[in-house]
Chain A
Amino acid sequence: GENVEQHPSTLSVQEGDSAVIKCTYSDSASNYFPWYKQELGKGPQLIIDIRSNVGEKKDQRIAVTLNKTAKHFSLHITETQPEDSAVYFCAATMDSNYQLIWGAGTKLIIKP
């Protein structure tokens, strides 16, 4: 079955700098890759997603890139702000499967 690995588990960056979180997946049939942000005591919130027919997608300070050959996708956050501090999760799924397979999460800390 599909397996998703996420790195790093904790990332600390200076406010204003960029943050990059990377996920790798095992099943080449995976074709949908969402990213979620979870704040303390809350449910995850979708922040951006990408499908396998697209290599990159941007939404203001957030971007996701997908490398199908290498089977990895990354979340890029530029000009980080204190409110970006949270736990970020990647996930993957295939057309034939209703289940999202989740990474273990990255705790992002923005230092003032």
Chain B
Amino acid sequence: DGGITQSPKYLFRKEGQNVTLSCEQNLNHDAMYWYRQDPGQGLRLIYYSQIVNDFQKGDIAEGYSVSREKKESFPLTVTSAQKNPTAFYLCASSTQGSGQPQHFGDGTRLSIL
């Protein structure tokens, strides 16, 4: 079945530590996105990539970094510079272009130890 796989489902970060969240898709989509969701709130865009080896900052990119070396993969690193990283992180993908439906993975919940 085609879809988006996020791993791990739960992740814990220690103070001063960088952690990387995995996102893989086999939908042959060009575009991929990372969102942050806080309790009772909507989704906020962290980074997006319309094509391999290219990505743009979203509304809340500070303290995060990404790479897009392969079409299928868009890993997100939460750096120690992100002072409030506890949240639910969602990865999505779509065909290229605006106004395209986005398909989501089941998220990674990040907590601070």
Contact = CB atoms under 8 A, between A and B. Distances in A.
Contacts of B103: 46
Contacts of A93: 98-99
Interface string B39-74: 011111100101000000010000000000000000
Interface in B67-113: 90, 92, 97-99, 101-107
Contacts of B104: 36, 43-45
Given A98-B48, A104-B42, A44 B101 contact: no
B100 to A, nearest CB: 8
A99 B48 CA distance: 9
Contacts of A98: 31, 48, 50, 97-98
B101 A42 contact: no
A31 B99 CA distance: 8
Contacts of B41: 104-105
Given A93-B98, A95-B99, A43 B107 contact: yes
Task: Classify the secondary structure of A's interface with B.
Answer: loop
Contacts of B97: 98
Given A98-B48, A102-B43, A103-B42, A42 B99 contact: no
B94 to A, nearest CB: 9
Given A93-B99, A104-B42, A42 B106 contact: yes
Contacts of B98: 32, 93-98
B42 A43 contact: no
19 contacts: A31-B99, A34-B101, A42-B107, A43-B90, A43-B104, A44-B43, A44-B90, A45-B104, A89-B43, A94-B98, A95-B99, A96-B98, A98-B48, A98-B97, A99-B48, A102-B42, A102-B43, A102-B44, A105-B42
Interface of A: 6, 31-32, 34, 36, 41-46, 49, 51, 89, 93-100, 102-105
